[in-house]
Amino acid sequence: MTMATEMEVCLRLPTRVLYQGMACKLFAVAENGAFGLLPNHIDFVTALEPSVLILTLADGNEQIFGIDEGILVKKGHQVDIAIRRGVLGENLDSLQASVKKNFIEVDEDERVARSALSRLEAGMVRRFADLQRPKP
């Protein structure tokens, strides 16, 4: 492997790509603690926890993301990150507000969907039970 100053990072959500581009440094939080990655870091796989993910770009600017749980895979100079939910923030203050807004709304939508699914399942169980009863 050649020495590199940048790595290609792809941050994927279930429905779209949140970020794809080059970075010279990455900071994230795994189950066993916070860590940083540089382009020439050894190949690496870890589970990510809900946290802040920071990418440092070649020009020194930072991209800050609020992320939900996910998986990070670094192979060579390629870093692939798959997360359930994520948002891009301008700074930590705006990121906190954005995470609260987006994640809480999604949590509420998921709760409503799970409730509807439970009612459907209960209805199906009742119908199957009715089918098994002998007819008079």
Any idea which of 22-26, 31-35, 68-72, 95-99 has the lowest mean pLDDT?
A: 95-99
Quick: pLDDT tens for 64-101.
998 888 999 999 999 999 998 888 887 766 666 666 66
**Mean pLDDT along residues 107-130:** 76
pTM of the model: 0.70
pLDDT above 90: residue 36: yes
Distant-in-sequence, close-in-space partners of 37: CB < 8 Å, separation ≥ 6:
7, 25, 26, 27, 28, 44, 74, 79
Q: Specify the fold of 7-91.
A: ATP Synthase; domain 1 (2.60.15)
Domain extent listing, the chain? 7-91
